[in-house]
Amino acid sequence: MHISEGVLSPGVLIAGAGLTAAGVAVGLRRLENEEIPSVGILSAAFFVASLVHVPVGPSSVHLILNGLLGLILGWKAFPAILVGLALQALLFQFGGITTLGVNTLNMALPAVVCHYLFSWGVGIGARRLVFILSAFAGGCCAVFLSSMLVGFSLYLTGEAFLPVAKVVVAAHLPVMVIEGGLTAVCALFLRQVKPELLEGAYVPKLSSQPQNGSG
């Protein structure tokens, strides 16, 4: 899922860096001081999970856990993922500094999308089956959207990358299922040992009409 240095065009790199900066700004604005340790732990989990890479052209296949971060953190996944990717680029040369903005956007934006789509189902009061299905869907969807964004980033650089983009998406199909299962297991574990992490689940506001009583 990491795009290497020297692959993307300057326009894609600049756009990715700008959008990531905006996402990080929103995430930091919503970050409370007491949440910093939890965000740090989740960032470390993301860092460790995506260390084992299988190269696929200019990208790679690996576990991500951005779905889990999205379900729990929402917009705060942007700074958490940025820190993890920056450390990977500096310590292990995964991805790169110039591609840091694009790589962060490709992993953090799907995390935020999945937060609004599925985190309502992983709230503390959610029924167990709904909880499991929502967590599984969040993990699967985040990887699918990330692979699509990676492919789109390559395609925007040049149509010559279209075959590679297709391979990247196809290679992540089995990872989606694995990520979904792992996200569900991790979410269930957190529900048992640290349920307060799930308190920030997004609950959609449903319009309610007042009921008129009959007299």
User: What's the mean pLDDT in 134-140?
Assistant: 94
CA 68 from centre of chain: 7
Least confident of 37-51, 145-159, 191-205: 191-205
> pLDDT tens digits for 159-188?
877 887 788 788 788 888 888 999 999 999
**What fold does the segment set 10-200 form as a domain?**
Arp2/3 complex 21 kDa subunit ARPC3 (1.10.1760)
pLDDT given at position 126: 81
How high is the pLDDT of residue 20? 97
Q: Is residue 58 within 8 Å of 52, Cβ to Cβ?
A: no
Cα–Cα distance, 116 to 118 (Å, whole number) = 6
- What's the mean pLDDT when you consider all of the chain? 85
Angle formed at CA 90 by CA 163 and CA 1, multiple of 5 degrees: 25
Amino acid at 203: V
Confidence of residue 211 (pLDDT cuts 50, 70, 90): very low
The answer to whether residue 119 scores a pLDDT higher than 50 is yes
Contact 112, 23 (CB under 8 A): yes
> How would residue 207 be classed by pLDDT, with cut points 50, 70 and 90?
very low
CA distances from 168 to 62, 142, 144, 149, 204 (A): 11, 15, 10, 10, 33
Q: In one letter, which amino acid is 26?
A: V
Q: How confident is the model at residue 60 (pLDDT cuts 50, 70, 90)?
A: low
